């Protein structure tokens, strides 16, 4: 990406969540069109979706727009700004987005720290007693990390409470990408701007390869991917 294109993206003022993710080449979902490739991930596995949230989060204007859209989605679920005292996010990628959500909500913002592959409460923040916490992430595949963040916060701050609806803890995110959207999480109510089922396969078990879809790495072959939108 050259500086001219970056400046153009920085001038973006509106758009749907998917349009905003696609603007800096951060989102692609397999549509099954003739000749369409599918993604080879860094792990070597194959997938029918590619998401690079870091490509979006570096643009402050896109963060601002997406955060506003998530806050509006909360309002549609009956959650209003005055119910939230603080936002918590995991490290590292979600910190940028979580802080923008907190800024717009006019609340405190804290984050957990990644230590030995686990999310921990680092002790650098203090939360007031009775604070109602909103958990904010940028992308959720499973709620494994989400659960670790909640536990880390409550273990060190038993005096706070995570916001909940329908008997579940609320977590908001830009993208929720489980393999099965119909399967409800027993602990979390996930509110996402982009809920998409995305599947990952070992190369020898990839059904898209069997359909003669080319397996390509997204970044160096991005034009091949987006020409099928």
pLDDT per residue rounded down to tens, the chain (229 residues)? 899 999 999 999 999 999 999 999 899 999 989 889 999 998 899 999 999 999 999 999 999 999 999 999 999 999 888 899 999 999 988 999 999 999 999 999 999 999 988 899 988 899 999 999 999 999 999 999 999 999 999 999 999 999 999 899 999 999 999 989 999 899 999 999 999 999 999 999 999 999 999 999 998 998 888 887 7
Query: All domains of the chain, ordered by start, with CATH?
Result: 3-30+49-198 (3.40.50.2020)
Q: How far apart are CA 129 and CA 59, in angstroms?
A: 34
pLDDT of residue 42: 87
Q: Which residues of 138-165 are buried (b: 16+ CB within 10 A; e: fewer)?
A: bbbeebebbbbbbebbeebbeebebbee
pLDDT of residue 120: 93
* Cα three-residue angle 134-135-138, rounded to 5 degrees: 135
Total-model pTM: 0.91
């Amino acid at each position: 990406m050259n500086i001219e294109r970056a400046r153009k993206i920085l001038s973006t003022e509106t758009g749907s969540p998917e349009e905003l993710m696609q603007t800096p080449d951060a989102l692609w979902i397999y549509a099954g069109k003739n000749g369409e490739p599918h993604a080879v991930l860094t792990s070597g596995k194959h997938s029918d979706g590619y998401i690079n949230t870091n490509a979006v989060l570096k643009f402050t204007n896109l963060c601002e727009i997406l955060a506003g859209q998530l806050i509006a989605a909360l309002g549609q679920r009956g959650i209003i700004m005055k119910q939230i005292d603080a936002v918590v996010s995991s490290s590292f990628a979600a910190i940028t987005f979580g802080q923008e959500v907190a800024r717009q909500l006019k609340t405190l913002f804290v984050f957990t720290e990644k230590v030995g592959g686990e999310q921990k409460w680092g002790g650098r923040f203090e939360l007031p007693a009775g604070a109602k916490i909103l958990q904010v992430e940028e992308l959720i595949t499973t709620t494994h990390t989400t659960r670790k963040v909640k536990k880390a916060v409550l273990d060190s701050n038993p005096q706070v409470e995570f916001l909940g609806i329908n008997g579940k803890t609320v977590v908001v995110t830009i993208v929720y990408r489980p393999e099965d959207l119909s399967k409800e999480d027993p602990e979390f109510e996930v509110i996402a701007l982009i809920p998409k089922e995305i599947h990952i396969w070992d190369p020898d078990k990839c059904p898209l390869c069997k359909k003669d879809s080319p397996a390509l790495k997204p970044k160096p072959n991005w034009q091949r991917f987006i020409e099928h939108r």
